[in-house]
Structure 1
Amino acid sequence: MLGTALFLAISPLAGAATTNAQASAVKAVANAAIKQGSFTEASVVRQANGNLVIKWRTDANLGAAKVYWSSKPDGDWKLLASTYAMFNGFVTADPNPGSRIYFKVKGGNGAAITTAERLLPLKGTTNFRDLGGYKTTDGKTVKWGKLFRADELAGLTAADISYLQKSGLKTIVDYRTKSEVAAKPDPTIAGVNYVYDPVFAETEGSGGTDTSTLFAALASGNSDALGEPGEMLIEGNKGMVDSPAAYEKLFDLLLDPATNALVQHCTAGKDRTGLGSALILLSLGVPKETVVQDFLLSNTYRAAYNKASVDALVAQLHLTDPKAIEVVQALMDVHPEYINAAFDEMDDKYGSIQGFLEKGIGLSQADQKKLKSLYLE
């Protein structure tokens, strides 16, 4: 309770000034019983004004703390601020605007944690994010700044491209069909290798997607042809497991150290990219529960875009049938049953997720060991 009270009264997050007496009292409490312990989690969220809110949690009193920043995830740390671990956070202006920033928080007992913004602050995407920071079942952590996932990149601004170049991006893996690429091609980025790796085969006249049939049914008012809300994406996730060639190619790239940092993307960055991200995290030993949580983050980051898209489609097609609107909403969102359908298909066809990694996409035990050496710390 004392820590909470002090946090509310004089934490840097609360933005209140401290007197010398208050500072002395905080120091005494913070250093009274420094224990062996660790940081259990940390996060960074950018506010509308550009300030960065760094938050952390600990499992013990770690005493005084120092906050460092760097444009690299693994070194060249610069002192940003001195604070106390029990404050559980710090607010700062961006120390290096226009560049990817990483933070390290170090407690008085030597414990430390590295963190960064999950969602990259790009103007031309809605769902470009870092897979770093997730814990594995054996206590390791996915490295920040190596593995990214995103939606379509056609809208990247010049400032966005500069940001990505400075972040060390080396490879773009594009899961979209030829028609999607033709409609919204990725920009050419100097120093970055583009790899075309379609998840779905494109049959003549299909436009690369089954959504044309859906939209025809919506326009005609034939609700019987729509199927149940989410059914298309449940079946789609099963289909991606049954035809996993694109993900075999993804892991071939990931096993080459020269390809990282790597971003994989599709159009919305939630389904094809969602499964690719899940496979990466699972191969590194991240628990399935955490993998599902990452999958569901697309609902958070795409909420405004999804709402605008659904509203526009409802207006364009004059939809009034509640089921039709629910089908459209389910197509824009992600739900646990979508990715779980993929996991169930792996169990049915290969006996387990591990069986799929080994037999479905040819990822040997030696390959998985190499991946862990490359992407865990």
Structure 2
Amino acid sequence: MFWAGKARIRLVTRDLAWDGCHNVRDLGGLPAAGGRLTRWGAVVRSDTPDRLTEAGWAALQAHGVRTIVDLRTPGEHQVGTGHRPPGVSVVSVPLDQPDDPGRLPYGGTPLYLQPFMERRPDRCARALRAIAQAPPGGVLVHCVAGRDRTGLVTLLLLALAGVAEHDILADYALSADRLRPLYAKLGQADDDLRVQARLTGAGTTTSEVILSLLAGLDAEDYLRVAGLTTAELAALRERLTVANEDGGEQARTSGGG
């Protein structure tokens, strides 16, 4: 904690060190609608936990995660390490299906997000319903890299909570840096090079794509039309946000937001 004028500012990081994962962060600490904050420990986003070591799983459990919402397509799963502790359940909610007619050509880039939302609002609603209906405890949301499918669900959650567009963009953009060490460890080229080439070819940028999507998005209306009930929407807000009771103490996050 440090002082800035008369206000105390508490600098905290949303990045989590879970051995075996590289793209893990808590969604807590972001300013939300009505003077509230996103709640620490409520929702975490990550790359696949299949690589978590025993210590990594212990850190996940210590963080309070009790439900894992798995967005991966059947067939993407790896052989896990076998260390998932009892009391941590998995809900499979695939966003994509291998036999989808006219599968989107921009998977694995931000260009995937808006067309998918337009074509498959039912699947977006299903993923958020799994979070709303999860039992008490933290919820981990993940796909393979924890970037685009996870980013889509995270974007909808944060938009519903009333988090500012620039904070949602900053959270999405963090994945590029967080994944770089993973690709190096796997002996693969940095996938962000491919992503940036696709964006350049489309004449746009990550910022333009995300901000354009958010500018036209009423998250509550979108999710209601997609099938979420008033009670489910309220449950998501209650799970994700908390009153800001710091008074003069302002929380600022590093590692996004």
Structure 1 residues 342, 178: closer, same or farther in 2, change over 3 A?
A: farther
Of 267, 273, 280, the residue aligned with 2:150 is: 273
Of the three residues 278, 284, 288, the one matched with 2:161 is: 284
**Which stretch of the first structure deviates more once superposed, 265-274 or 162-171?**
162-171
Whole-Å Cα distance in 1 between the matches of residues 107 and 88 of structure 2? 37
Asked if the contact 2:51/2:80 (under 8 Å) is kept, the reply is no
Task: State the match for 2:112 in structure 1.
Answer: 236
Quickly say closer, same or farther: Cα 1:308–1:124, change in 2 above 3 A.
closer
Tell whether the 8 Å contact from 1:234 to 1:341 is kept in structure 2 after alignment. no
SS in 1 for 2:109: helix
8 A Cα contact 1:237 1:341, kept in partner: no
Alignment partner, residue 251 of structure 2: none
Report the CA distance shift for 1:61/1:235 in structure 2 as closer, same or farther (over 3 A).
Answer: closer
C-alpha displacement of 1:308: 6.6
CA deviations over 1:58-89 (Å, ceiling 9, x no partner): 5x425xxxxxxxxxxxxxxxxxxxxxx5xx6x
Alpha-carbon shift at residue 234 of structure 1 (Å):
4.5
User: For 1:245 and 1:189, how far apart are their aligned partners in 2?
Assistant: 31
Structure 2 residue 118 is the aligned partner of structure 1 residue 253? no
How far, CA to CA, are the matches of 2:239 and 2:127 in structure 1? Answer: 15
Q: Relative to structure 1, is the Cα distance of residues 256 and 354 closer, same or farther in structure 2, using a 3 angstrom cutoff? A: closer
What amino acid sits opposite 1:284 in the alignment?
A
CA drift at 1:127: 0.5
Answer whether contact 1:175 1:246 (CA < 8 A) is retained: no
**What SS class does the counterpart of residue 171 from structure 1 fall into?**
strand
Q: Distance in 2 between matches of 1:153 and 1:231?
A: 21
| TM-score computed with the length of structure 1 as normaliser | 0.53
Q: Which has the higher contact order (CA 8 A, sep 6+)?
A: 2
Aligned residue pairs total: 233
List runs of 5+ in structure 1 lacking aligned partners.
1-54, 63-84, 89-104, 106-114, 212-229, 315-324
The higher radius of gyration belongs to 1
Alpha-carbon RMSD: 3.4
Partner of 2:6: 61
- Structure 1 residues 32-75: Cα deviation after superposition (integer angstroms, max 9, x where no partner): xxxxxxxxxxxxxxxxxxxxxxx5565x425xxxxxxxxxxxxx
Structure 1 residue identity aligned to 2:149 = R
Q: Which amino acid aligns with 2:131?
A: L
Structure 2 gap segments, 5+ residues each: 200-204, 243-257
Q: TM-score, normalised by structure 2?
A: 0.75
SS, match of residue 195 in structure 1: strand
